[in-house]
Amino acid sequence: MCRNRPYPMGVKTVTEEDSEEESMEDQLAGIQLTDAEEDYNMMTINEIKTIPINTTKTEPHFLTFDVDGQALSLEMDTGANITAIPLDLFEKKFWQYELAPKKKTLRNYDETEIKLLGTMKPRFVKYKQTLCDNLEIEIVEKGQAVVERN
């Protein structure tokens, strides 16, 4: 028990008058800020800045696949869950393929839609000495040719 208090430390008798909570305005009414403190508060509100994270730029990593006898260089995209090539590349190298109808909707990180034209199902895909079974290549209107993380 604290000698300066008539009650044990951490214990206080609450009366009905004490139980009424003070409003935030009542609590702040007696606080006087200096001009410097007011300037600081305004500065912190008005001068919020964004700090970039992971600003290190790395060079893209490309993998070359053999797709039905055609060399196809794709950028490795660890965030992608599809393999995609733009329409101009499809028309240049794979014009003989019929596109299967699109089954999905693709979106960018900002939720804008990526125009998907269809899906190409090559008969034979090889990376170095490894056969890639069931690889489907999505044909998009434009953009970078990318290979999915799997």
pLDDT at res. 120: 92
Beta strands at 125-127 and 130-131: parallel, antiparallel or unpaired: antiparallel
* DSSP-assigned beta bridge partners for residue 102: none
Position 104 scores a pLDDT of 81
**Could you tell me the domains of the chain?**
62-147 (2.40.70.10)
User: Looking at residue 54, what is its pLDDT?
Assistant: 67
Q: What is the pLDDT of residue 13?
A: 61
Note down pLDDT in tens along the chain; length 150 residues.
455 555 555 555 666 555 455 565 566 666 666 776 666 655 555 556 666 666 677 788 898 999 999 999 998 888 788 899 999 999 999 999 988 888 888 887 788 888 889 999 998 888 888 888 788 899 999 888 888 876
Cα torsion 90, 93, 95, 101: sign: negative
pLDDT of residue 1: 46
Count Cβ atoms within 10 A of the Cβ of residue 65 and give its class: 0-12 exposed, 13-18 middle, 19 or more buried. buried
Rounded CA separation 133/126 (Å) = 9
CB distance 89 to 145 below 8 Å: yes
